[in-house]
Structure 1
Amino acid sequence: MKSMFSTLRGYRGISISALALAGVLVLGGCAAPAPQMTSLEIQAFQLKEFETDKTTAFNSTVSVFQDLGYIIDTASLETGIITSQSPTESGFIPFVGMTQTNTRATAFVEERRPGATSIRLNFVEVQKRSGGYGQQSGRDNVILDPAVYENAFEKIEEAVFIRSAGT
């Protein structure tokens, strides 16, 4: 009777060490961990200063969030906080169940000095899954793609320009 190891070794000439190596590669054991960004690196693309008053910056940010399809949850000029979320996309994945995905966007608008206001944006992708038997899971992923923030800031800058041109 052959042992399990000799059977594996004889399987089309593949050795056990080759199978182990393949398993490690498939599971990502050889992949280098993704480098972590520092808070200053993140803040560098999430924060931008505008030469305008707080009210204009705040109203422009709310307007851009709405233009991008976000639903405003809260907006307080006094605190400078804006919270919003995109419409939820639902789907079904076989053997997994129902999935729901949306993006939450927040902004903090702060007057730095008269005529200069900073805006800090944060985008988070929210995923929720529910399967049979009532299991639920979720995951929130901060979006760390600088291009996403750059796009939003370009639109806010345009909105600030339009609002400032009228005064």
Structure 2
Amino acid sequence: MSKCKNLLLGACLSLTLAACASGSALQPDRSIFSLDNNYQRQFYDLPIETTFEQAVSVFRDAGYKLDVIDRATGQISGRRGSSGDKGSTTDKDLKFYALVVPRRDGSELGIKIVQVIRRGAFGSSTAELIVNDRQMYEFAFRRIQNAAVANEAPSPQSSTSGAQGDELPPAGRYPANR
């Protein structure tokens, strides 16, 4: 009897350890980023780096948890939490995939937004629907453009002081009173 218990305990322990043995990090499938007709696109007269940073900022500010932020390839993806009633049998999440690539004198941003719908008691059934709402994409593109404009530093020539000497001297360099 004790031999049987030991064998059963050993088998359970082996299965438990085997389940934890996959030491590799989970990475999202990068093939989803291939620019196809499901991506909505916008051209910007901004450098690719600026467009990338502004897209990351806008999606982060909108409450998305970003999964991929890869500056080398221009790939960004994220997920936004469940919406709707917690007691409901349907949960809806939003995922997005974005790709920033260089174009002519600027950059091109492609965005695909996917609605993930889970049904059932434990979310056992999922469906993914690509969102094709043109106004939603236009709003996102406009927010990214406006974020880029808002973060541009004013040039030194655009100073409105007009009078010389109105500027404060650098710290620690105040003129002596004589």
- Normalised to the residue count of structure 1, the TM-score between the two structures is 0.64
* Match among 42, 49, 61 for residue 48 of structure 1: 42
Query: Any unmatched runs of 5+ in structure 2?
Result: 1-35, 156-178
Identify, as 1 or 2, the structure richer in strand.
1
SS at match of 2:95: strand
CA RMSD of aligned residues (A): 2.1
Over 2 Å off, 4+ runs: 89-93, 162-167
- Normalised to the residue count of structure 2, the TM-score between the two structures is 0.60
The Cα shift of 1:64 comes to: 0.5
Give identity over the alignment, percent: 26
* Match among 103, 117, 122 for residue 112 of structure 1: 103
Q: State the alpha-carbon separation in 2 of the partners of residues 61 and 106 from structure 1.
A: 11
Aligned residues: 119
SS at match of 2:144: helix
The Cα shift of 1:138 comes to: 1.2
SS at match of 2:55: helix
* Match among 86, 110, 113 for residue 91 of structure 1: 86
Task: Point out the structure with max Rg over C-alpha.
Answer: 2
Query: Any unmatched runs of 5+ in structure 1?
Result: 1-38
The Cα shift of 1:73 comes to: 1.0
The 3 A distance-change label for structure 1 pair 48 and 135 is closer
- 1:139 partnered with 2:127: yes
The Cα shift of 1:165 comes to: 3.8
Please tell me the residue identity of whatever aligns with 2:127: R
